[in-house]
């Protein structure tokens, strides 16, 4: 179905369920001649993979990518690139008690209402496991963008109710984001947030947070002026991530309380839906993980309300693992826009 396909020229279709044999993607529209290896993809998959401690689930997938097509002697052919990532550490028996129960805060009920059938094991295709496909495709898009001197970086800017230093402040240190499991740009902030996460884990609860993203080197002119604005495309990409519930560009919702003289000097890299040449910056909000050990009320197929305790292995907070997913979706949007702009601008 069309809902599994992303992009116009740089097109990606993802496939697979959380507890199926494998996850994967097919990329169509990647130009030929791009140097690409499995290690290029695995580098970002390692940042997203479960089992890294901190706020992460204990599910321990290797997430080793296999490139099945579209690459010859280390270079892309311009033909569809198929990438598969095997599922090897799924415990489907943990979900057997959920076969006839719809978990609160999950897509269980709405998915079954739409299709009349669902894979209850780990959420099936609505699981956060699906994002491994996006990260694999995003790694390829990043390589394409690197050839245009476009770089994307994201970090945890708030987690478990704790705000981190803003970019540009003396306390902000981006190098710290890959030195702690929460991907926080401040060592003291990481330690404080980890204590909050561990307290929530002990209580059987979860937390949400914010991911900030900055894309530098984006040339002026990307995006369309009406329905396909660059910020609209990025917003749609972020909100397609299951746990993402909001996105802000520049001042975001605070702009509603500002004067024009205040707001006009706040950059976000997009004006009138088209990139301005400044770094493109935004923040994405992620909800608390809905799978918690605390007893909850849940509806079953018979219309009865049950008390439900969700077992299995789940993230206390999805935000740190969402960081590479935000980067990947940003890369997919920008790669598509670069190719669209190249197709639009023709030499005389």
Please report which confidence band the pLDDT of residue 299 belongs to, taking 50, 70 and 90 as the band edges.
confident
3-class SS at 253? helix
The total number of structural domains that make up the chain? 1
The span from the CA of 298 to the CA of 290, in Å, is 12
The span from the CA of 156 to the CA of 103, in Å, is 27
Enumerate residues 6+ apart whose C-beta is below 8 A from 162: 189, 192, 193, 196
**pLDDT tens-digit map of 3-49:** 899 999 999 999 998 888 899 999 999 999 999 999 999 999 999 98
Enumerate residues 6+ apart whose C-beta is below 8 A from 260: none
The domain in which residue 232 lies consists of: 2-344
Comparing 27-41, 64-78, 116-130, 138-152, which segment has the lowest mean pLDDT? 116-130
**Mean pLDDT for all residues in the chain:** 91
The span from the CA of 182 to the CA of 311, in Å, is 23
Whether the CB-CB separation of 144 and 76 falls below 8 Å is answered with: no
pLDDT at 287 over 50: yes
Q: What is the CATH number of the domain that holds 297?
A: 3.60.150.10
Q: What is the mean pLDDT of residues 252-273?
A: 93
3-class SS at 176? helix
| DSSP per-residue string spanning 113-170 | HHHS----GGGGGGSGGGHHHHHHHHHHHHHHHHTTT-EEEEEEEEETTEEPPPTTST
Q: Give the helix ranges, DSSP H, for the chain.
A: 38-48, 108-115, 131-146, 187-203, 230-239, 260-263, 319-344
**pLDDT tens-digit map of 79-93:** 999 999 998 866 666
Q: What is the pLDDT of residue 138?
A: 98
State phi, psi for 264 to the nearest 5 degrees.
Answer: -65, -20
pTM for the whole thing? 0.92
Q: What is the mean pLDDT of residues 189-212?
A: 94
């Amino acid at each position: 179905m069309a809902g599994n396909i992303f992009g116009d020229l740089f097109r990606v279709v993802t496939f697979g369920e959380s507890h199926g044999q494998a996850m994967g993607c097919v990329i169509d529209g990647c130009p030929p001649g791009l140097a690409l290896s499995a290690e290029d993809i695995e580098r970002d998959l390692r940042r997203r993979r479960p089992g890294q401690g901190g706020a992460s689930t204990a599910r321990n997938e290797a997430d080793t990518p296999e490139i099945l097509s579209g690459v010859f002697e280390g270079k892309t052919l311009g033909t569809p690139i198929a990438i598969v990532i095997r599922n090897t550490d799924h415990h489907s028996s943990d979900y057997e008690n959920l076969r006839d129960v719809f978990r609160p805060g999950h897509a269980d009920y709405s998915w079954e209402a739409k299709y009349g059938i669902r894979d209850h094991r780990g959420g099936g295709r609505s699981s956060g496991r699906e994002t491994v496909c996006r990260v694999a495709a995003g790694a390829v898009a990043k390589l394409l963008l690197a050839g245009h001197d476009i770089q994307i970086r994201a970090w945890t800017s708030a987690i478990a109710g704790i705000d981190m230093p803003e970019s540009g402040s003396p306390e902000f240190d981006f190098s710290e984001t890959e030195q702690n499991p929460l991907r926080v740009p401040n060592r003291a902030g990481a330690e404080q947030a980890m204590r909050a996460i561990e307290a929530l884990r002990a209580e059987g609860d979860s937390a949400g947070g914010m991911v900030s993203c900055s894309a530098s080197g984006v040339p002026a002119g990307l995006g369309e002026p009406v329905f396909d604005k660059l910020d609209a495309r990025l917003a749609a990409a972020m909100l397609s991530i299951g746990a993402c519930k909001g996105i802000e560009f520049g001042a975001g919702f605070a702009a509603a309380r500002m004067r024009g003289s205040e707001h006009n000097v706040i950059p976000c890299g997009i004006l009138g839906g088209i990139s301005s040449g400044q770094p493109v910056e935004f923040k994405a909000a992620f909800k608390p993980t809905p799978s918690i050990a605390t007893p909850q009320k849940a509806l079953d197929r018979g219309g009865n309300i049950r008390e439900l305790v969700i077992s299995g292995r789940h993230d206390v907070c999805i935000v740190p693992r969402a960081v590479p997913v935000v980067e990947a979706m940003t890369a997919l949007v920008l790669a598509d826009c670069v190719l669209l702009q190249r197709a639009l601008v023709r030499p005389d």
